[in-house]
Amino acid sequence: MKRTIPAVISAATALTLVLAGCGSDEPTDPNAPVTITLAGWSLSSTPEFTTLADGFHASHPNVTVELKEYDAANYDTQMIADLAAGTAPDVYVLKNLKNFYTYQSGGQLLDVSDAATDLGSVPALSAYQVDGKTYAVPYRQDSWVLYYNKELFDQAGVAPPDGSWTWDDYVTAATRLTDGLKSAGSAATGAYQHVWQSTVQGFALAQTPDADLLSGDFGYLKPYYERSLQLQATGAQPTYGTANTNKLTYQAQFGTQQAAMMLMGTWYVATLLEQRGTGDADTFEWGIAPAPQFDTSTAGTSATPVTFGDPTGMGINPNIDESKVAAAKDFLEYVAGPQAGTALAGIGITPAEVTDAVTEAVFGLDGVPQDDLSKFAYATHTIEPENPVSEHTAALQNVLNETHSAILSESTAVDAALSEARDRAENEVLSQ
């Protein structure tokens, strides 16, 4: 008996190995139904995810892309937690470059170099490459512009933007708009500045000569914060405290004509069009202008304005089931390619590569302004990254987010807050 049992086990094991070997040699049916999951946020008001999922399914009918919704404000926190818990979707979005290093260095992104082989002309692809390998692909490249309500400008008796504004011009216009609208019996403010640190720090980093996030010297932020505080003090825009306490949304502030101007990314074009259709936004005449400039050297339509905007990319969860990897890589090729770019432009989203055809598609949409300045602002600019890729970027931006809150809530004076941020950057981040 002692000899027989091992013999039986050995034979069974051998048979299992033979069967397993036979199974592994069988080709996988490329047309077998596959479902991959994709992270997204604000699905009811952000149509890009459904557009990409449906567009890919139309060209790959055997692959279904199932959306998993996350909270837009806490997306990265929730995604990092889900990746650690093994519950993250197969494909997930990198909203900006802030946490790319964290995801990549932590082994949370699959090498997708083969999927990126034919994407060499896409401008932002290099941001996702490390040591010659590609870990994500861009599908969007937004830039920040100035949205303005032409009807509120007319009501206030203020001349609309002409593309030549510096920040001082912007402050003057916001103040005059607020006064003019108040005189006309309107409660709208001249401007709305959303609570994100980007609304101040992104422009300061992009436009200020020699500004360097990774240096730890944040003095370049000072004039940008002083202007924001001035606008708050005069009532030309809601205070940071009001926006937080009342949970103001930028979509409602501009879309329901609570503010005459708003600095925001080009993704808002799609949202505004969507909300006009659902009735969540009013119907009014609006336009796009370049963001105000640091000085006159980059202002005006004969120059190239400077703005900021990280690419938005997609990567693959390394814990994806092996049987789904090929479909997921095909999906990445699709979202970064021209077919998806045309589909995104068709709903007002700026794809990773902006071509004349993309610009034409966006401005061919019903409800998009047709004036030359809007087209110029959309298509002509130098885009600087908000988050230079580095091991220190996420930690430095976390410090600066606290600095942003301290300054705009007026709990700490500008000079003291920036000095504290410099010390924290050196002691907590750069010297570690």
List domains and CATH numbers for the chain: 34-142+309-354 (3.40.190.10), 144-308+379-430 (3.40.190.10)
Kindly state the helix (H) or strand (E) to which residue 108 belongs, with its residue range.
Answer: none
Quote the pLDDT of residue 279.
96
- pTM (predicted TM-score): 0.84
Q: How far is C-alpha 179 from the geometric centre of its chain's CA atoms?
A: 33
Mean pLDDT, to the nearest integer, of 12-16? 37
Q: Which residues contact 345 (CB under 8 A, 6 or more apart)?
A: 351, 357, 358, 359, 361, 362
Quote the pLDDT of residue 8.
35
**Tens digits of per-residue pLDDT, 377-394?**
999 999 999 999 999 999
Could you tell me if 257 and 149 are in contact, meaning their C-beta atoms sit under 8 angstroms apart?
yes
**Residue 192: how many CB atoms within 10 A of its CB?**
27
Closest CA to 261 of 158, 182, 350, 363: 158
Q: Using the Cα atoms of residue 120, residue 117, residue 108 and residue 323 in order, give the sign of their dihedral.
A: positive
**Tens digits of per-residue pLDDT, 157-199?**
999 999 999 999 999 999 999 999 999 999 999 999 999 999 9
Task: Return d(Cα 257, Cα 286) in angstroms, integer.
Answer: 10
Q: What are phi and psi of 148, to 5 degrees?
A: -145, 150
Task: Return d(Cα 47, Cα 349) in angstroms, integer.
Answer: 9
Task: Return d(Cα 430, Cα 140) in angstroms, integer.
Answer: 31
Percent of the chain with pLDDT strictly greater than 70: 93
Q: What angle do CA 400, 406, 407 make, to 5 degrees?
A: 90
Q: How far is C-alpha 193 from the geometric centre of its chain's CA atoms?
A: 17
Q: What is the mean pLDDT of the chain?
A: 92
Q: What share of the chain is helix, strand, coil (3-state, %, to 5)?
A: 50, 15, 35
Task: Return d(Cα 224, Cα 204) in angstroms, integer.
Answer: 7
Beta strand 306-308 pairing with 286-290: unpaired
Quote the pLDDT of residue 22.
44
Mean pLDDT, to the nearest integer, of 28-53? 89
Quote the pLDDT of residue 355.
85
| Identity of residue 352 | A
Mean pLDDT, to the nearest integer, of 326-342? 95
Look at residue 313 and give its three-state secondary structure: strand
Residue 24 banded pLDDT, cuts 50, 70, 90: very low
